[in-house]
Amino acid sequence: MKEKVVLAYSGGLDTTAIIPWLKENFDYEVICVCVDCGQGNELDGLNERAKLSGATKLYIEDIVDEFCENYVVPCVQAHAVYENKYLLGTSMARPAIVKRLVEIARKEGAAAICHGATGKGNDQIRFELGIKALAPDLKIIAPWRSPLWKLDSRESEIEYCHAHGIDLPFAADSSYSRDRNIWHISHEGLELEDPANEPNYDHLLVLGVTPEKAPDEGEYVSLSFEKGVPVAINGETMKVSDIIRKLNQIGGKHGIGIIDIVENRVVGMKSRGVYETPGGTILYEAHQQLEELILDRDCYRTKAEMGALLAQVIYEGKWFTPLCDAIRAFITSTQEYVTGEVKFKLYKGNIIKAGTTSPYSLYNESLASFTTGDLYDHHDADGFINLFGLSTKVRAMKMLEVEKKNQ
């Protein structure tokens, strides 16, 4: 019997060409696995395409709810943002995909897992670190880094497919390179390859419109959280995936969550892309507004540091590591009382606060107001400031002493 290889299959030109390439160069039986994280109509017709290309079998695995609850929610709770802008849409989907690829590989008794990520990007790292962590005994095949891979353009891939009897409606014309799931859609290529160019948003956007084209009337929305998990929109209870879908629709309409970023890839180069994350942007902002009321000062500050670290760890493909586990355990512990409702207005790309409430709010009106309450005496600040500023004063006295000696 031939050895089996599990191919992370999207149905695009790259992974379609990889099927006959694997059979030709390794004599593998190819098992395609398409992991559905919310790609939408991109999954249409995949079964026929995979079989026509020479695959023995195609799994289409719906993990949307698992992705939202076990990967998206921890990032929302952590406020994990890479380089101050990127909400990790692709980064946090990869470990979810890898987990299912390994499960199918075990089920099929496969000897290897193959992915179609290029040798320039981050995804090769995310896929392979995940596989090494979950299945260190499995071989990993990365065609784009193999000396046997001679296909260096869409035209050559199309020609290769035709030579192997695969006649599919792939076009050689240029388009954006996109990655989509329920959380976001990313765009790279074409005019975006030159940072001097303004994005052609009319051609580019999929999930929404620019702020200029958003309605002239704002829209009020309320989000409810329980222990840091979103549970309802406008009082209507929903599972997390449905909340994200609804917020994508509302946020896209109002021009929310469009970012243009030049980011630092793990491999060392810079890349420019545009990300649409309307629902995710709203969730991050609403969750943070709620935490402002609930977390104490030291916890809030430390959590911000841990959130930034978690973003870097996930971006670098290190989800299945002790460090990632430890950071997420800390984040989870901070969410025990992050319960309440956040109201805001969406208007032309802006998320405007409209009131936040929580039974665990640490905001004390008596303390915060200018009137003197029972818990705070203005005179208490004298001793505090003297101690808090002692090192500053001692240094200033020493510098003044040195200055006098040198005169």
Q: How far apart are CA 164 and CA 141, in angstroms?
A: 21
Contacts of 182 (CB under 8 A, 6+ apart): 37, 38, 64, 67, 68, 241, 244, 245, 248
* Catalytic residue, candidates 62, 65, 177, 178: 177
CA angle 27, 28, 34 (to 5 degrees): 145
- 3-class secondary structure for the chain? CCCEEEEECCCCHHHHHHHHHHHHHHCCEEEEEEEECCCHHHHCCHHHHHHHCCCCEEEEEECHHHHHHHHHHHHHHHCCCECCCECCCCCCHHHHHHHHHHHHHHHHCCCEEECCCCCCCCHHHHHHHHHHHHCCCCEEECHHHCCCCCCCCHHHHHHHHHHCCCCCCCCCCCCCEEEECCCCEEEECHHHHCCCCCCCHHHHCCCCCCHHHCCCCCEEEEEEEECCEEEEECCEECCHHHHHHHHHHHHHHCCCCEEEEEEECCCCCEEEEEEECHHHHHHHHHHHHHHHHHCCHHHHHHHHHHHHHHHHHHHCCCCCCHHHHHHHHHHHHHCCCCCEEEEEEEECCEEEEEEEECCCCCCCHHHHCCCCCCCCCCCHHHHHHHHHCHHHHHHHHHHHHHHHHCC
102 contacts 131 by C-beta, under 8 angstroms: yes
* Whether residue 177 lies in the annotated active site: yes
Which residue among 14, 91, 186, 328 is the active-site one? 14
Q: How deeply is 96 buried, as exposed, middle or buried, from its count of CB atoms within 10 A (0-12, 13-18, 19+)?
A: buried
Q: Which of 10, 53, 123, 272 is catalytic?
A: 123
Q: Is-catalytic flag, 14?
A: yes
CA–CA dist 298, 224 (Å, integer): 25
Catalytic residue, from 94, 100, 180, 328: name it.
Answer: 94
Catalytic positions, please? 14, 94, 123, 177
